[in-house]
Amino acid sequence: MSGSYLKAEHLIFREALRKFLAVEAVPHYDQWERERIIPREFWLKLGEQGFLCPWLDEAYGGLNADFAYSVVLNEELERVGTSLVGVGLHNDIVVPYLDAYGTEEQKQRWLPRCITGETITAIAMTEPGTGSDLAAIKTTAVRDGDSYILNGEKTFITNGIHADLIVVACKTDTAVKPSYKGVSLLVVERGTPGFSRGKKLDKVGLHAQDTAELIFQDARVPAANLLGEEGKGFYYLMDKLQQERLIVGISAQVAAEEMLRMTIDYVKNRKAFGQAISQFQNTQFTIAELATEVEIGRTFLDDLIDKHMAGQNVVTQVSMAKMWLTEMAKRVAGSCMQLHGGYGYMEEYPIARRYRDVPVAAIYAGTNQIMKTIIAKNLGL
């Protein structure tokens, strides 16, 4: 939270956002988790306050804000709870595709409602049989006059139930070699004939986050909804993954900071054998180690945010951060739950939810094994 990228205006923005979330999110979060969904009204309230896509150009209703505002947003949403990741996905992962590769007509049509919260977005890459292997996707889009006929299934789609606009990775050319050259991006709108949602997926954690299956059966998508050029989809996806993985790293870091904070507070107040648990050397050593890792993570992350904002290519370092920070957050979760003792396993203690919510960060946005592959390749191995 102390990066050089944060200026006075970002701190004012953070304070306003915290006050908003303290009223509109914190008191309702447990209910959202029980109901397994965040209501659309919350998105509209975010939009009203300027908390959706503030980086977009004023021409579309944005504030021309820099990436540091996105950092603040993702940090404060994570502090409330990881189930709010769908907001960061909309703000800093999906809408950037529309802004970067959309035509002026597409941007005028879609972006203003993304800012108000009337339109919620998702990106559909993963399929039941592909996982991290994007080039192997089976979803196809065949040109038919002024439309594409889209067929296939997607799974694990964040915002899948609420999404009004979905950027779908599909094959517009199944014959070209290498196969990734046949990937294109089509924007599918709510209500498209032939498009349906499967079940809302029941996850170990992130209970309030609506993750779903999407099904396309001869879905007729206007050719005007092609994003960018045919066959360039894979390159577009690769281009945007640096920021996506940085967002995941930010969430993991904040989750670790929150777990450490709540655990320090807990061990100071919990008594055993006539003294506070914090007085035992084992507790002190464990927390000292965790605090050191969390501090290292923050330093590395802040440096990367600075470089990303300066427009530097830090794909290798971001892959390192995504891998290391998410693994570190998992270690912190395990140790902090242990220090809570039996209470750590009770749902009424927030460490239990954090313990369930953290592991998936090592899987989405490219598994940590994929991160290692990228790092190794970029090291010339």
The CA-CA-CA angle for residues 250, 197, 111, to 5°, reads: 55
Domains in the chain, CATH or no CATH each: 8-119 (1.10.540.10), 123-231 (2.40.110.10), 235-378 (1.20.140.10)
pTM to 2 decimals?
0.95
Select which of 75, 76, 127, 244 is catalytic. Answer: 244
Q: What sign results for the dihedral spanned by CA atoms 96, 86, 6, 239? A: negative
Distance CA 28, CA 80 (A): 10
Cis status of the peptide bond prior to 178, with omega within 30 of 0: yes
CB atoms within 10 A of CB 113: 18
**Structure tokens belonging to residue 182:** 């046949």
Nearest to 135 by CA among 169, 158, 168: 169
The string over 292-327, giving b where at least 16 C-beta atoms fall within 10 Å of a residue's C-beta and e elsewhere, is ebbeebbebbbebbebbbeeeebbbbbbbbbbbbbb
Catalytic site residue 189? no
In angstroms, the Cα distances linking 239 to 93, 101, 182, 355, 376 are 11, 11, 17, 32, 19
Question: What pLDDT tens digit does each residue of the chain (381 aa) get?
Answer: 557 899 999 999 999 999 999 999 999 999 999 999 999 999 999 999 999 999 999 999 999 999 999 999 999 999 999 999 999 999 999 999 999 999 999 999 999 999 999 999 999 999 998 777 777 899 999 999 999 999 999 999 999 999 999 999 999 998 888 888 999 999 999 999 999 999 889 999 999 999 999 999 999 999 999 999 999 999 999 989 899 999 999 999 999 999 999 999 999 999 999 999 999 999 999 999 999 999 999 999 999 999 999 999 999 999 999 999 999 999 999 999 999 999 999 999 999 999 999 999 999 999 999 999 999 999 999
Distance CA 302, CA 291 (A): 16
Distance CA 56, CA 283 (A): 46
Distance CA 345, CA 343 (A): 5
- Plot region of 268 (φ>0 → left; ψ -120 to 50 → alpha; else → beta): alpha
